[in-house]
Amino acid sequence: MAKIITMTSGKGGVGKTTSSAAFGTGLALRGFKTCIIDFDVGLRNLDLIMGCERRVVFDFINVVNGEARLNQALIKDKRVENLFILPTSQTRDKDALTMAGVEKILEELKKEFDYILCDSPAGIEKGAQMALYFADEAIIVTNPEVSSVRDSDRILGVIQAKSRRAEQGLEPVKEHLLLTRYDLDRVERGEMLKVEDVLEILAIPLIGIIPESPAVLKASNVGMPVTLDEKSTAGQAYMDAVARFLGEKVEHRFMKPEKKGFFDRLLRRTA
């Protein structure tokens, strides 16, 4: 049974698209046929992060408007088997989406895919509501700072009130918290919220903590989901999150500052 997952946050710039790319790639690496949809109409970014921007011919909006078939718009990833991207339009805006059009595409995708990952735009308006309306599960991307936590709280309220599952009185959307850009040093110094502080306010299960890592920006710039960088802590943390999403018990890593060994200190001093 195909599942629709929405990656959302309320606030912008917290890492929704990066997380969608990394998480979706992770699901595909685990053998699930996965499609990532860019719902951020007008601010097309997912294709850049996934490194397929030069292969976009038709997009999500073309399919909604019946100008192209779904198969013409889907882009198959060249690196990972089972991974597809549905890019969005850069020239249109959120008003180009219709509930009926989105539903039709999702129903069609459900027949072929195991997971459909919707990369939501920021905000709580039409675009974001459209991305979360059909969700079975939601991953809330949050940074450890107060405004991000408050906006996440708000979007959780929107999910509980305005999703299809809420409107039809079905089993509620399953919520997961993904804490990104977690900077251990700054948390230690009290400049960022602790995991416990965030959990206390949002009160939803934690699916993963992604440490702040230079590998993330580097990966974005070269169009490679960070999950494919197996050496990076962020990539490993995303794979852990995928495992937890699939119901496996995995300990949270990267939450304690790494013990700097003698050689590390020596190297750092000389470097």
Partner 1 sequence: MKTSTQTAFRDAPFQLRGASFTMMVLKVGDPRNPNFFPVLAGKIAQAPNFFKNAPVVLDLDDLPPGMPFDFGQFSGLLRNLGMVAVGLQGGTPEQQKDALAAGLAVLPPSRDAKTFDPLAGSGRSPAQGMGAGGGPVEAPARPAPQPEPAPPPAPAAAASRGTLMITEPVRSGRQIYAQGGDLVVVGPVSPGAELVADGSIHVYGALRGRALAGVGGDKASRIFCQSLEAELVSIAGLYRIADDMDRKVLRKQVQIFLDDGFLHIDPVAA
- Residue 176 CB, shortest distance to partner 1, in Å, is 15
Find the binder of partner 1 among 1, 100, 161, 271 (CB under 8 A): 161
| CB-CB contact of 8 with 140 (8 Å) | yes
Contact region with partner 1 (CB under 8 A), list: 20-28, 34-42, 149-157, 190-198: 149-157
From the list 135, 117, 131, the residue with the least C-alpha distance to 77 is: 117
Cβ neighbour number for residue 221 with a 10 Å cutoff: 11
Give the x-and-dash track for 170-209 against partner 1 (CB under 8 A): ------------------------------xx-x------
157 makes contact with partner 1 (CB under 8 A): yes
The sign of the torsion formed by the CA atoms of 2, 26, 121, 138 equals: positive
Residue among 33, 110, 150, 162 that touches partner 1 (CB under 8 A): 150
Q: How far is the CB of 145 from partner 1 (least distance, A)?
A: 14
Strands ordered across the beta sheet of 174-182:
75-76, 83-86, 34-38, 115-119, 3-8, 137-142, 174-182, 206-211
| Nearer to partner 1 (CB atom), residue 30 or residue 162 | 162
Nearest in space to 241 (alpha carbons), one of 1, 13, 80, 5:
5
Three-state DSSP at 6 gives strand
Minimal distance in Å, beta carbon 203 to partner 1? 5
Residues forming contacts to partner 1 in the complex (CB under 8 A) are 124, 150-151, 153-154, 156-158, 160-161, 200-201, 203
